[in-house]
Structure 1
Amino acid sequence: MQIKDVKAPKNAEFSEENAKDLPFPEESFDAACCTQVLLYVNNVDQALLEIKRILKPTGRIIIVETDWRGVVLNSDYDSITRKIFSAWDATVPSPNLPVRLGSLLLDNGFSNVNVEPIPILNTEYTPNHFSHGMMNWITRNALKKRVFLPKNNSKNGG
């Protein structure tokens, strides 16, 4: 989805900025939302400090990130699926961020931190299901970053 396609309420604005150097005054936001962003940021601490800087003292932050090690996807080749998820770690700066997020928020001055896991269970592997799209995307990203997997045609073995 592109920002231009978002229908914002009259009292909301959407902006795409560099998380490490936000062009906003201190304490100017009531809330900040990061959805599938921080996994891709090289310096998560710096990004969190910037978000903290622009939030009002009573401001809130909502972060949604996926811990791909806990995702359950149905695919035709279990061992290849596991290898693709392992390759994922080499393609993003902070692959294990979700399990560290609570302590990172506290370390960067946030309080009243609440971390809630939301399970992802996908039981189908067809083009219109999450697992199909994600496996294709992760594979393309791994190839783009030149992360190669060993050849294996086994459906269940290693």
Structure 2
Amino acid sequence: MDTNQTTGRTSGDTDALIRLLDIADSIPGAVELRARSYELLGVEPGMKVADVGCGPGRAAAEMAERGARVIGIDPDERMIDVAVRRRPAADFRVAGAYDLPFPDGALSGYRAEKVFHVLDDPARAVDEARRVLAPGGRIVLLGQDWDTFVIDADDAALTRTIVHARADLVPTPRVVRRSRNLLLDAEFTDVTVETRTLVFTDATMVPALTDLAEKARSAGAISEAQAGAWIAEQHDRGRRGRLFFALPMFLTAATRR
């Protein structure tokens, strides 16, 4: 079994994550959300930006299309391999959020999407972001709160159990609630918070909902029968256009003093 020594993921885990990211990144709401993050970052030609936790590299490529000098950073070697294969002209490097491969003050922009919830010490990552940003540089953190997934299902209690059990598997599932204060504590200025809620009513996000229930089952929070029935219901809702999944996303932005 091929396991990444930095992330602890197997190559199969990473491939499954890439499939989910590709689905999530392609929906119109996500496209608009990324575009807003670039506006908050102030992306412009020649600007040097790190996209931390870049995954398969979609955001890095989009910012490069706007003329920025983008370096995609991810600790997962398999993820970087996929990013390089898809976008061979781009600059991607294997590194973690705690130890970025840049000298002090080297960057004008720092962007991290769906990253801080997997870190066991987000404050340390913010300090590292402050180190690599030049004065006046911008930071944008984009992510979800794992306790605030809104899902319609016949069994509301079971759904709450699934959502909370999945959240409990995440190192810092509610970090978006802390992001503003983390940036203030690190002496960033002009701190703002925005939210956009993505709403899904067809089968697009059934794979993500399936993953939610399967992870809750694997954690022992629900039985195999409960997981199977709940997943079957969401598949049925997706087929009939009766699915409802609302996902609030938060954008926290600030300026390096």
Give the one of 132, 141, 146 matched to 1:54: 132
- TM-score norm. by structure 2 comes to 0.51
Question: Which of residues 187, 193, 203 is equivalent to 1:115?
Answer: 193
2:105·2:131 contact (CA, 8 Å) conserved in 1?
yes
CA distance in 2, matches of 1:68, 1:95: 5
Determine helix, strand or coil for the equivalent of 2:192: coil
CA contact (8 A) 1:31 1:55 kept: yes
What SS does the aligned partner of 1:81 have? helix
Q: 1:74 aligns with which of 149, 152, 155?
A: 152
Within 5 Å, which residues of 2 pair with 1:2-151? 2-3=56-57, 6=61, 8-9=64-65, 10-16=67-73, 17-122=95-200, 124=201, 126-128=202-204, 130=205, 132-143=206-217, 146-151=218-223
SS of the residue aligned with 2:171?
coil
- 1:98–1:11 Cα change, 3 Å: closer
Question: 1:12: Cα distance to partner?
Answer: 2.3
Runs of 4+ in 1 over 4 A off after TM superposition: 151-155
Question: What are the superposed Cα offsets for residues 48-107 of structure 1, whole Å, 9 maximum, x if unpaired?
Answer: 100111011101111111013223223454332211111122211101111111111111
**Structure 2: unaligned runs, 5 residues or longer:** 1-21, 23-55, 74-94, 234-257
Cα offset, 1:119, TM superposition: 2.6
Q: TM-score, normalised by structure 1?
A: 0.80
CA RMSD of aligned residues (A): 2.5
Q: Distance in 2 between matches of 1:51 and 1:70?
A: 27
Q: Is the 8 A contact 2:162 2:222 kept in 1?
A: no
1:22, 1:140 → 2: CA distance?
Answer: 34
State the secondary structure of the residue aligned to 2:203. coil
1:10-65 Cα shifts (integer Å, max 9, x gaps)? 53223222001111011111111111000001110111100111011101111111
User: Which structure is richer in relative contact order (CA contacts within 8 A, separation 6 or more)?
Assistant: 1
Separation in 2, partners of 1:93, 1:20: 15
Q: Secondary structure at the match of 1:6?
A: helix
The letter for the 2-side match of 1:15 is G
CA distance 1:66–1:34, change in 2 (3 Å): same
Aligned length: 149
What one-letter code is carried by the residue in structure 2 that aligns with 1:127? Answer: A
Structure 1 residue runs without a partner (length 5+): none
Whole-angstrom CA distance in 2 between matches of 1:54 and 1:88? 33
Point out the more displaced range, 64-73 or 15-24: 64-73
In structure 2, what residue type is equivalent to 1:31?
G
Aligned-pair identity in percent equals 25
Taking structure 1 as reference, are residues 89 and 71 closer, same or farther at Cα in structure 2, changes over 3 Å only? Answer: closer
CA distance in 1, matches of 2:189, 2:100: 21
d(CA) in 2 for partners of 1:141 and 1:30? Answer: 38
